[in-house]
Structure 1
Amino acid sequence: MSDMQRLQQRLREMYGTSSDAWAPRLARLVASMEPAPVACGSLWDQRDAVLIAYGDHVLAPGERPLRALRDLLVEQDLASLFSTIHLLPFFPASSDDGFSVIDYRAVDPALGDWDDIRSLGQHCRLMFDLVLNHVSQHSHWFQGYLAGHEPYVDYFHEIDSDADVSLVARPRSLPLLTPFATNRGTRHVWTTFSADQIDLNFDQPAVLLELAEVLLEYVRRGARIIRLDAVAYVGKQLGTSCIHLPQAHQVVKFFRDFLQVVAPGVLLLTETNVPHAENISYFGQGDEAHMVYQFSLPPLLLDAWLNEDAGPLVRWLADLQPAPPGTTFFNFSASHDGIGVRPLEGLVSGERFNRLIRAVGERGGMVSTRRMPDGTDAPYELNITYFDALSDPSNSDNSANVRRFLATQALMLALRGIPGIYFSSLFGTKNDLEGVRQSGQVRRINRKKFDRDELTQTLSHADSHQAIVLAGYRRMLVIRRQQPAFHPDGAQQVLADVPPWLVALLRTSPDGQHRVLVLVNVSGRSQTWRLPSAIRTGMMTDLLTGRRWNDQIAERLGPYETLWLHATNEGESEPWPTSTNTA
């Protein structure tokens, strides 16, 4: 079966014989992209890392924010550290910092224009969001629905106001249904995230193909990774949870097949902030997302360092199964959103979970909730910068906070998969409480906007907090790019039976010729540990510091210290013994 036949079959599986009427439109879409971009080489390697940023993360007087962002990336040589920039929604929007899209095909003029985005793409690859679950109430589509115009009258879900929606999974503590005055009278429509964000009706092939056109536009504009925002919620069926329904997976499969036809080499990343087993279901059988977020990683890292006990983190890492061939994990610790806690379900005790919630409050953070079926509210995400979440409020020693923070990043960067780093994290940014106060939005605590000149001046002082954190990232990212053991497809073996203060794992390059032993002390005390005999090789070099280690002597790790140990022979890199057991 050809790729085009598979795509047509996918549409038929989703909509039955009624899909035949839409086949000509699908064919025109595909033809409009010919000739398709050719996929070059492998999908990824150890040089890949993603910078996550808003279009207005950097501001400069008299300059468009997108251009100011580009200038900072170039001037600080940040573009050389990242293969890709994830440019968070830059479209005209009415709320949710861009995720309530008014016009999918336009750049918000307050940020810049398509030329500015193309200019960014000259320095690194681009990742765009396809916000496919919902649109703004101010969008042309929804305004057409309100006016009763075709085809928009079928683009949204109308639900009886007295319908039983108690089983629907809720990511917010807000009403699910929102009334609107239409030319047909008052109608209640489905609003998963807010009254301003109206859910689209994927029961209609027209909606799917509209978004396929949008996706094509993004590819033409240079996007090489497409993030499917909130895709878990696109399926709707009363009497169910309306999350992870078969329709959601079919939508992902359709876009995967569509890209295979029109733009092979463009990757799909699904955003599903849910427990781990549910999250990785979006790999499918290797026929859905190319990448899924490791949503359990941020709260597990935080739990390990706050408790100085990596037990739950190590058990989770040890249980991780390799991603299907042609797919990989997207590792991160912080993003534009808060730290999701649903992915902790089943991984930590109730006592540790509650301790995490309390710790965030003690560090100036806040907790957002979701509505449960019984009408109560439960924690959904922690709103705090990752640096402040890890800081010790009882200790004024900022150097210890920096070591603690960078240790979490060193582990994240060493894990199998592709790493993503949030722009604010690059500088160890602290809680923006003033931003919360001015906006009334708790998520603004982690969305500080930087004055370009002020940030540049601060970074010029090597002893500044921001410069020290950035230097730590720079060192790790440069080393990671050069080390084949950190290839996303490389094996990862988690060492068992280690002390609770230690995370120990072995990374191996896909060809088996390069291996790095990663050791991380999650405690604030110096610790000693002797390498198991099975992985002793003589002399080793810590890639992070250049120090040499004799593996016959117990390793001493300082507080929050990380080692990336590579086997050496008289200063030259050598492969690890092939007898080492790797997963």
Structure 2
Amino acid sequence: MSAFSFLRDKVRHHLDLIYQDVSLDRSIDELADALLHVMGLSSDDDIQIPPPFSNFWDENDIIMITYGDSVIEAGNKPLKTLHHFLKTYCKNAINKVHILPFYPYSSDDGFSVIDYSSVNEGLGDWSDIEELAKDFGLMFDLVINHCSARSVWFENFIKQDGVGKDFFFTATPEDDISQVTRPRTSPLLRETETANGTQYVWCTFSHDQVDFDFTNPDVLLAFASIIREYIDHGAKLFRLDAVAFLWKILGTNCINLPQTHEVIRLYRTLIEHLDPDVIIITETNIPNRENLTYFGNANEAHAIYNFSLPPLLVNTLITGSSRHLNGWMMSMPPAQNGTTYFNFIASHDGIGLRPAEGLLSEEELSVLVTTMASFGGKISLRTSELGQQKPYEINIALFDALSGTTQGQDKWQIDRFICAHAIMLGMEGIPGIYIHSLLGTPNDYEKVENTGQNRSINRRRWYLNELEDLLNSPFSHHHKVLTRMTQLIRIRTAQPAFHPNATQFTLRLDDRLFGFWRQSIDRKQSVFCISNISNEEFVLTLTDINLIVTDEWTDLITQQEVDTENNQLKLSPYQTVWLSNRNESIQPL
């Protein structure tokens, strides 16, 4: 069988599963051919055969998360300014960049897309994106669940004419929507006057973000075309935004439905036969067990957001107890080859609380929320299945979230902040670091007041000259954070034991410590990653971690040899050690 015939049959199989309960206006064969044509996969010569269960990443991969205009300067396009900043301050630390939606938009800081095929003129143009792609692997957002109510597609829906006239999911006030999982408190249905009368458009997030109807195969085709266009412009990673809500069936919870998973598998098949190096990451801010299903059998997402990590790690560092983080870490299955975790502890959004449900008790979640509020955080709410208003997300800059403990603010803010990142950088998976974490940016109350949006607290826009003054001043906490963070990253990327798929084993230690062991794929390097997560000095007994005393061990972070004869190691408050039997020396910056 030819490569094209094999691929065509595989695409047909996906489509059969997706549309088995939908009456289509065309055959599955016609739809499969249209998808392959849109993707430019029309002959054997166009098709690459993806190697199964292959890891297209290693310990060198660090992803920065940033808006296109997180750093700006007068007289220059923000994307050019960002490029300059990255090359100047991050060239030895970051090799991939997630530029948050850089398309024309109407709300939600980019996630209400007006036009998927354009670059926001306020940021730059496609040439600026392509220049960035020459120096960094770029992650593009595929905002696949919804678009802006100001888009041409939705305007055509209102007119009931042209492309988009049947792209959007509708229901009626009489339909059973009682089970629908909601991430927001706004009404689900938006009353809209169209040329064919009043219709009620489904809006999972806001009334400016109108949900697509993927039972219409033209929507599936439209996004295949967008995917191909983004790859042509340099995308090496796709973040499927809010994809868990993609397929809707009335009378269900309308989240994580089988058709949603099959749509992801279909796009995975198309993408990997066009370019096997392109990676799909699913953004599914849902309870941990549900999130894990998006790996499929290494045939769905290459990577999933580790959404439980941010609330659990922050909780660990403010309570001084690693009990819940330990339990969660031990329960996490190793990612099989061809898949990995995407680890992050801060992002443009807040600290999601749904992924901590079942991991922290209601009382513990309440303490976490109260503590974050005392550090200046804002609390966003959602409507639960029972119609209750529940905390959904904590909006706070991570630097301020770690300014103290449940007992209040203290002097350990920077050390606690670095400790959090040292834990994340050592873990199985690919690390994602938000630009404002790299810079130690605090809460931006002025932006919250200006926008009226809680999430703005962690979306500061820096002027380049102001930022450079702070980063070049040794007395600035921004300088201290950037220096320590980049040094940690450079150490991490030199260790084979920190390959995203290297072996990981959680250590059973005192609750005031959090530790795990990593071993390189070739088994030549072992690293014990141990953090004191309390505000008191701790003396670790080396035999407690089964350290082989006949080997020579070095703390990679301090470059100090471990005195195994003494059998003890003192850890200062919030100190992390990476004890390795193979010392890859890192030159200071």
* TM-score higher than 0.5: yes
SS of 2:516's equivalent?
Answer: strand
What's the CA shift string for 1:241-280, capped at 9, x where partnerless? 1010111101111111111222211010000001110001
Change (3 A) 1:551 1:3: farther
Cα separation, 2, equivalents of 1:172 and 1:397: 34
- Is 1:332 aligned with 2:336? no
d(CA) in 2 for partners of 1:39, 1:477:
30
Structure 1 residue 561 corresponds to structure 2 residue 565 = no
CA distance in 1, matches of 2:143, 2:151: 13
- Which residue matches 1:191? 203
Q: TM-score, normalised by structure 1?
A: 0.94
Residues in 1 aligned to 2:295 and 2:95: alpha-carbon distance in whole angstroms: 23
1:71 counterpart = 2:84: yes
Counterpart CA distance in 2 for 1:95 and 1:572 is 47
- In structure 2, relative to structure 1, the CA distance for the partners of 1:572 and 1:178 (3 Å cut) is closer
In structure 2, what is the equivalent of residue 15 of structure 1? 19
1:221-236 equivalences under 5 Å are 221-236=233-248
The separation in 1 between residues aligned to 2:182 and 2:13, in whole angstroms, is 32
| 1:36 Cα deviation from its structure 2 partner | 5.4
2:17–2:259 contact (8 Å) kept in structure 1: no
Q: 1:545 aligns to what?
A: 558
The answer on whether the counterparts of 2:39 and 2:224 sit within 8 Å (CA) in structure 1 is no
1:427 aligns with 2:431: no
Q: Number of residues paired by the alignment? A: 568
Aligned residue type for 2:63: V
**Gap change, CA 1:572 and 1:88, over 3 Å in 2:** closer
Q: For 2:322 and 2:428, how far apart are their aligned partners in 1? A: 18
User: Is the contact made by 1:36 and 1:264 (CA closer than 8 Å) also made in structure 2?
Assistant: no
Offset of residue 379 of structure 1: 0.8
Aligned counterpart in structure 2 of residue 445 of structure 1, from 430, 441, 457? 457
SS in 2 for 1:292: strand
Contact 1:30–1:261 (CA under 8 A) maintained in structure 2: no
Q: Give RMSD over aligned pairs.
A: 1.8
| Rounded Cα–Cα distance in structure 2 between residues aligned with 1:38 and 1:406 | 42
521, 527, 534: which one aligns with 2:532: 521
* Distance in 1 (alpha carbons) for counterparts of 2:489 and 2:254: 40
Query: How many percent identity over aligned positions?
Result: 41
Give 1:532 deviation, angstroms.
2.7
2:36 corresponds to 1:27 = yes
Give the alignment's TM-score, normalised by structure 2. Answer: 0.93
- One-letter code aligned to 1:24: D
Question: What residue ranges of structure 1 are gaps of 5+ in the alignment?
Answer: 574-583
The SS at the match of 1:238 is coil
Q: Deviations over 1:111-156 (max 9, x none)?
A: 1001111111121111000000001011111111110114523211
| CA apart distance, 1:567 | 1.9
Asked if the contact 1:4/1:261 (under 8 Å) is kept, the reply is: no
Distance, in Å, in 1 between the alignment partners of 2:100 and 2:526 is: 35
Paired position in structure 1 for 2:521: 510
SS at match of 1:462: coil
Deviation sequence 1:337-376 (CA, Å, 0-9, x none) = 0000001111122221110010011011111011112221
Question: Aligned partners of 2:323, 2:286: CA distance in 1, in Å?
Answer: 21
Secondary structure in structure 2 of the residue aligned to 1:507: strand
Q: Is the CA contact 1:19–1:205 (under 8 Å) kept in the aligned structure 2?
A: no
Q: 1:482-521 residue pairs with structure 2 within 5 A? A: 482-496=494-508, 498-521=509-532
Matched to 1:44, the amino acid is: W
Q: Distance in 2 between matches of 1:554 and 1:193?
A: 53
1:343 equivalent in alignment to 2:347: no
**Which one-letter code corresponds to 1:335 in the other structure?**
S
Q: Structure 2 counterpart of 1:495, which letter?
A: L
> Does residue 1:297 correspond to 2:306, yes or no?
no
1:283 aligns with 2:298: no
Q: Given residue 518 of structure 1, which amino acid in structure 2 is its aligned partner?
A: C
Identify the residue that residue 576 of structure 1 maps to in structure 2.
none
- Counterpart amino acid of residue 506 in structure 2: V
Amino acid corresponding to residue 347 of structure 1 in structure 2: L
Q: Secondary structure at the match of 1:68?
A: helix
Match in the other structure for 1:250: 262
For 2:369 and 2:35, the matched residues in 1 are separated by: 48
2:39 is paired with a residue whose SS is helix
Match 1:5 to one of 9, 19, 29: 9
CA gap 1:500/1:397 in 2 versus in 1, 3 angstroms: closer
Q: Which deviates more from structure 2 when the two are superposed, residues 480-489 or residues 150-159?
A: 150-159
Deviation at 1:39, TM superposition (A): 7.4
Render the CA deviation track for 1:458-508: whole Å, top value 9, x for unaligned: 111122100100011111110111100000110001112x11101111111
Could you say what secondary structure the match of 1:227 adopts? strand
Indicate if the aligned counterparts of 2:8 and 2:32 stay in contact, CA closer than 8 A.
no
Distance of 1:572 and 1:27 partners within structure 2: 47
SS in 2 for 1:153: coil
**Contact 2:298-2:339 within 8 A present in 1 as well:** yes
Query: Residues 137 and 524 of structure 1: is their aligned pair in 2 closer, same or farther, counting only changes over 3 Å?
Result: same
370-379 vs 226-235, which moves further = 370-379
User: Partners of 2:159 and 2:41 in 1: how far apart?
Assistant: 31
Cα separation, 1, equivalents of 2:584 and 2:424: 26
Match runs of 1:394-473 below 5 Å: 398=411, 400-473=412-485
- Where does residue 580 of structure 1 map in the other structure? none
* CA-CA distance at 1:7 after TM superposition: 1.8
**Shift, 1:38, TM fit:** 8.6
